[in-house]
């Protein structure tokens, strides 16, 4: 460790006697420690609500209720051996419902079963809804992949989501 000279100023971190790095306000150790803490904070912010560890018992009960049903898009049935695995998913994304305080995302009307091939297609549509809040684009994407629009309509009515078309659009 370097000793303080007339030219070097002490680190700005409270209680650190080390000299600053050239052109910086902190010493080498404090600079890297703070950058590590900032990295952890950014990582915690990236975590989406509704991801696996935070789902809780309500999601587990709801998932069991819809397990064993065929895929809502392609109609593939789950095999008893488990070779065709199905994922339980929300019709309207749970993160969208939680962020907009629209109610419990695990309601029976909002649950659907999807196979491994169709689940990524629906996730892409969910990203359009949640990242851009583009409900019309989300509906168009669901229609394009062949998602049953009757289920979407029932779920939207259940949560009170209305799509208003702009003036002049027929």
Model pTM score? 0.60
Give the per-residue pLDDT at 81. 65
Q: What is the pLDDT along the chain (170 residues), one digit of tens a residue?
A: 555 544 678 888 888 888 888 888 888 888 888 888 888 887 777 655 545 545 667 777 888 888 888 888 888 888 776 555 688 888 888 888 888 888 888 888 888 988 888 888 888 888 777 776 677 888 888 888 888 889 888 988 898 888 766 554 44
Query: φ, ψ for residue 112 (rounded to 5)?
Result: -150, 155
User: Residue 103 CA to chain centroid, in angstroms?
Assistant: 17
Q: How far apart are CA 94 and CA 97, in angstroms?
A: 5
Nearest to 112 by CA among 88, 128, 83: 88
Give the per-residue pLDDT at 101. 83
Give the per-residue pLDDT at 20. 87
């Amino acid at each position: 460790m370097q000793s303080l000279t007339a030219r070097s100023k002490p680190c700005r971190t409270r209680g650190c006697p080390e000299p600053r790095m050239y052109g910086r306000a902190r010493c080498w150790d404090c600079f890297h420690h703070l950058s590590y803490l900032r990295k952890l904070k950014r990582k915690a912010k990236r975590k989406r609500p509704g991801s696996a560890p935070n789902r809780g018992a309500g999601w587990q009960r709801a998932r069991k209720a819809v397990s064993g049903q065929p895929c809502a898009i392609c109609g593939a049935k789950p095999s008893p051996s488990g070779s065709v695995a199905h994922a339980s998913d929300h019709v309207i994304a749970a993160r969208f419902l939680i962020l907009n305080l629209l109610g419990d995302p695990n309601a029976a009307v909002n649950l659907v079963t999807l196979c491994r091939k169709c689940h990524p297609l629906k996730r892409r549509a969910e990203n359009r809804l949640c990242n851009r809040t583009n409900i019309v684009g989300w509906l168009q994407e669901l229609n394009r992949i062949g998602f049953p629009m009757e289920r979407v309509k029932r779920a939207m009515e259940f949560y009170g989501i209305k799509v208003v078309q702009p003036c002049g659009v027929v």
